[in-house]
Structure 1
Amino acid sequence: MTITSPARRDFLLSGSALTIAAAALGSGLAGGGKAQAESLPTAPANAIKALFFDVFGTLVDWRTGVARDAELVLKPLGYSIDWIAFADAWRDQYQPAMEEVRSGRMPYVKLDVLHRRMLQQIVPRFGLEKLEDAALDRLTLAWHHLPAWQDAPAGLARLRQRFLIAPVSNGNTALMCDLARRNDFRWDAILGADMAKDFKPKAAVYLTAVDAFNLEPRQCMMCAAHSNDLRAAAELGIRTAFIARPEERPGAGEDAPRVPVDVVARTTEDLATKLGA
């Protein structure tokens, strides 16, 4: 759902009207992990007006955040486990759970609901079978408290001066709002799975976001730390920017794109520089 009133969401900037300026892309594709050293040349016919952002891993550190909250919830109850392993095990259920929806085997449910179901699947591995519902509910809210990567708030603020910006995430709207408030992400709208009633990388999630801003795919850019996300967007004609997050998970975080992309950036602030913001 598009949010236009600052009074309705106090993580949006108040006061002046939004200015949308075009930043254009050159014709070459970036890849192989070599970041472009300067802003993209102007090409008005291909002007970018909106930037869409993946959130988990790209803008926020889910691994540290979930591990921290798990310890805060469980340690006072007398549990002592490998908190990082717990976070990893929970995240490992992410794609299989969403595939049940993407395949049509299960109707769409919000990611909060899936996170709770995933949690139920992993608690036996960590000796947490006796946890009461209240503790499980508190654990599920860990995903609402994730910390931003250090560069993300400032980078987004710069980019918003030049473009419309919005999350296009598998997270539901309430989850995205909580992360925005916690981390000072000042979105122009909350887009993604809740609007499309499906999960990335299904085409409907990206195209619903494009339509929400009354734009064409070529006027939008998907920004993410995950090559599969960028591949799916590019197949729809959406431009793509890779943001390196090798620290997302040792051995699994990507430090270079595995697919051709339009821009490679080290951070969100580096992306802002490359897009002239």
Structure 2
Amino acid sequence: MTVMMGFMRWVTFDVFGTLVDWRHGIRTGVELVAPGKGAEVLEAYVRHERDVQSESPTMRYRLLTAEALRRACAEEKVELGADDASVLAATLPYWPVFPEVGAELSALREAGWRLGLLTNCDRDLVAETRRRLAVPVEAVVTAEDVGAYKPATAHFEAFGRAYEPEVWVHVAQSYFHDMVPAHRLGLPRVWINRQGQRPDDETIIQRAQPDLRGLLEAVENASTPAG
């Protein structure tokens, strides 16, 4: 991981769910191998992916998606062909970026913020996605790099050691994977609550909004101590 010193104001992001439409990608990927079953398998997949991440924190993400998909399809009694479980890793580079992402990330950069990605993904997979963001990103920390999946704090700790940010705000969609560990570490944070969820603990949520629109203001407010 290349260290870039001197960039002191950072915003880090989760990628899939926050910048990229993860649910759409999974649902449509399943439809390719099990037409008509995308929506029901998606909900089972979300649960099983967490379990596999917890059980096998060093498993490569492309293998993890295949195992989680096999379990989800077994639960939903959806039959997969011999190679069908690889469909999510195969299609992941084409999952759509949310429409507001380019403008909002550009606004952050123009205001002097540096951008980083803390992702539960492999290096090669996120590299393909990174090209689709159309905005330069100065730092990437993957699950492959740290040998762990969020909500473990290894991504955050590795980023902090490498870049030593003076100001650091974390932005993410997942309450479970990102808001909880960011809160545990005392990081300013913005929850992108795309699914309209209710948090288990309201005190964990510092700032929340339904998408990235107006993110610059939210980030700057989050980075400013109250009072």
TM-score (norm 2): 0.81
Pick the structure with greater CA Rg.
1
Quick one: which amino acid aligns to residue 100 of structure 1? E
Q: How does 1:12-91 map to 2 (within 5 A)?
A: 20=7, 49-71=9-31, 73-74=32-33, 79-91=34-46
Task: Report Cα offsets for 1:83-109 as digits up to 9, x if no partner.
Answer: 22122222221110111135xxxxx12
Which of residues 86, 110, 117 in structure 1 aligns to 2:67? 117
| Alignment of structure 1 residues 99-178 onto 2, 5 Å | 99-102=54-57, 108-124=58-74, 125-129=76-80, 131-133=81-83, 135-161=84-110, 162-178=112-128
CA distance in 2, matches of 1:65, 1:80: 14
Q: Which residue is 1:227 aligned to?
A: 175
For the residues of structure 1 that align with 2:184 and 2:50, how far apart are their CA atoms? Answer: 20
CA–CA separation in structure 2 for the residues paired with 1:260 and 1:137: 35
Aligned residue pair count: 217
Q: Tell which deviates more after alignment, 193-202 or 267-276.
A: 267-276
Cα distance in structure 2, aligned partners of 1:94 and 1:261: 24
CA, structure 1 residues 274+101, in 2 after alignment: closer, same or farther (shift >3 Å)?
same
The structure richer in helix per residue is: 2
| 1:172–1:3 distance in 2 versus 1, CA, 3 Å | farther
AA aligned to 1:271 is L
Match of 1:204 in 2: 154
Q: Say if 2:191 is the partner of 1:242.
A: yes
Match of 1:97? Answer: 52
Q: Which runs of 5+ in 2 are unaligned?
A: 222-227
Distance 1:112 1:187 in 2: 23
- Say what the alpha-carbon RMSD is for the aligned residues: 2.8
Counterpart mapping for 1:174-189 below 5 A: 174-189=124-139
TM-score (normalised: structure 1): 0.68
Consecutive unaligned residues in structure 1, runs of 5 or more = 5-17, 21-47, 103-107, 247-252
Within-5 A mapping of 1:231-270: 231-246=180-195, 253-254=196-197, 258-270=202-214
**1:51 to 1:139, Cα distance in 2 relative to 1, 3 A:** closer
User: What's the CA shift string for 1:101-160, capped at 9, x where partnerless?
Assistant: 35xxxxx1221111111122233434324x132x43334323332212221222112112
Deviates most, 60-69 or 257-266: 257-266
Whole-angstrom distance in 2 between the partners of 1:241 and 1:139:
28
Match of 2:224 in 1: none
Report the CA distance shift for 1:121/1:237 in structure 2 as closer, same or farther (over 3 A): same
Taking the aligned partners of 2:198 and 2:130, their CA distance within structure 1 comes to: 25
Tell me: CA distance 1:143–1:87, structure 2 relative to 1, closer, same or farther (3 Å).
Answer: farther
- Please point out which of 208, 217, 223 is paired with 1:273: 217
Q: Which has the higher contact order (CA 8 A, sep 6+)?
A: 1
Preserved contact between residue 97 and residue 114 of structure 1 (Cα < 8 Å):
yes
Cα 1:138/1:3, change in 2 over 3 Å: farther
**Residues 171 and 192, structure 1, Cα contact 8 Å, conserved in 2:** yes
| Aligned 8 A contact 1:81 1:126 in 2 | no
